[in-house]
Amino acid sequence: MYFIANWKMFGVLNTLNTLHKFIKFFRKFKKKRFAKIIYCPPNTLIRPMSKKLKNISIEVGAQNCHENENYGSFTGSVNSKMLKSVGAKYIILGHSENRQSGDTDKLINMKIKSALKANLKIIFCIGETISEKRKKATKRVLEKQIKLGLKSIKNKKQILIAYEPVWSIGSGIIPKNKDLSETVNFIKRKFKNNKVLYGGSVNSKNIDQLKLVKNIDGYLIGGASQDTKKFIDIIKKTYN
Ligand code: PEP
């Protein structure tokens, strides 16, 4: 199971002290070989975080990148090669917060290609909005996002899909287990043999319900991952 922490635009250098608590827990965690932990902090913390996590099997990822694989005059931007050079092994792409601020399917496709070239593993986010859900368009939306986002990418082994319904992110609302299981199956049929994670308001309370959905391969966790105790509780409860 994957447990991916999306710290979004939260955290400064001394926030990294909270990692000691997590490292202590993880060293002793009996089910550790079943759990793959990836922390995705803001770019400014990637280097110091990967140094802190060097001797333990926890990896670090970025949250977005510029689509250009080469260096260039793009003020304020960072490309995937640069993120790799400071210690990122993964990258979240297609997150709905970035789709809302201008990331089109085409742009996401370019970003995925550049990140694969830089040898990063991709956490590719897809998900429908509330109005698309109400129109019963979820499958059509997901299919389109997968088709365009992964256009002309042959080797998909380095790509994980994170199903994140937009209406669930940060809202405290999660899908019904039956719907979630059906959607994850649908994605797995479209995206053969790859891992599918769920993201959207996962917390230490609803994890008991979510873990009953057996076809999920892990979770992308925003808010709750910024509190080490809550993040640990989610992991512990998943295996209880
Ligand atoms: C996210 O932003 O990827 C996310 C899942 O956020 P939250 O857990 O806070 O809903």
Digit-coded pLDDT (tens) for 76-113: 999 999 999 999 999 999 999 999 999 999 999 999 99
Residue of 40, 130, 221, 234 best suited for mutating to test ligand 1, as the one with most atoms within 8 Å of CB: 221
Per cent of the chain over pLDDT 70 is 100
pLDDT at position 95 is: 98
- What is the average pLDDT across 206-220? 98
Query: Residue 194 has what pLDDT?
Result: 83
Please report which confidence band the pLDDT of residue 140 belongs to, taking 50, 70 and 90 as the band edges.
very high
Closest CA to 170 of 97, 230, 227: 97
Contacts of 22 (CB under 8 A, 6+ apart): 58, 228, 231, 232
- Within 13 A of 28's CA, how many CA atoms are on the CB side? 7
User: Which backbone phi and psi does 5 adopt, to 5 degrees?
Assistant: -95, 120
Band (pLDDT 50/70/90 cuts) for residue 191 is: confident
Query: What is d(CA 46, CA 41) in angstroms, rounded to the nearest whole number?
Result: 6
| CA 78 to centroid of chain Cα atoms | 19
- The whole-angstrom separation of Cα 220 and Cα 174 is 13
User: How many C-beta atoms surround the C-beta of residue 44 within 10 A?
Assistant: 13
Q: Which residues are known to be catalytic?
A: 95, 164
Averaged pLDDT score across all residues of the chain:
97
pLDDT at residue 227 tops 80? yes
Tokens of 124: 């590719």
Please state which of the four CATH numbers 3.40.50.2300, 3.90.180.10, 3.20.20.70, 3.50.50.60 is assigned to the domain occupying 2-64+78-239: 3.20.20.70
Indicate the pTM of the whole model: 0.97
| Nearest-angstrom CA–CA distance, 134 and 131 | 5
169 touches ligand 1 (CB under 6 Å): yes
Residue 192: predicted pLDDT: 80
pLDDT at 221: 98
User: Cα angle vertex 220, ends 163, 71, to 5°?
Assistant: 90
Q: pLDDT tens across 67-80, in order?
A: 999 999 999 999 99
Hey, which of 2, 3, 4, 6 would you mutate to test ligand 1's pocket, going by the most ligand atoms within 8 Å of its Cβ?
Answer: 6
The pLDDT of residue 193: 66
Q: Where are the domains of the chain?
A: 2-64+78-239
Binding site membership of 165 for ligand 1 (Cβ less than 6 Å): no
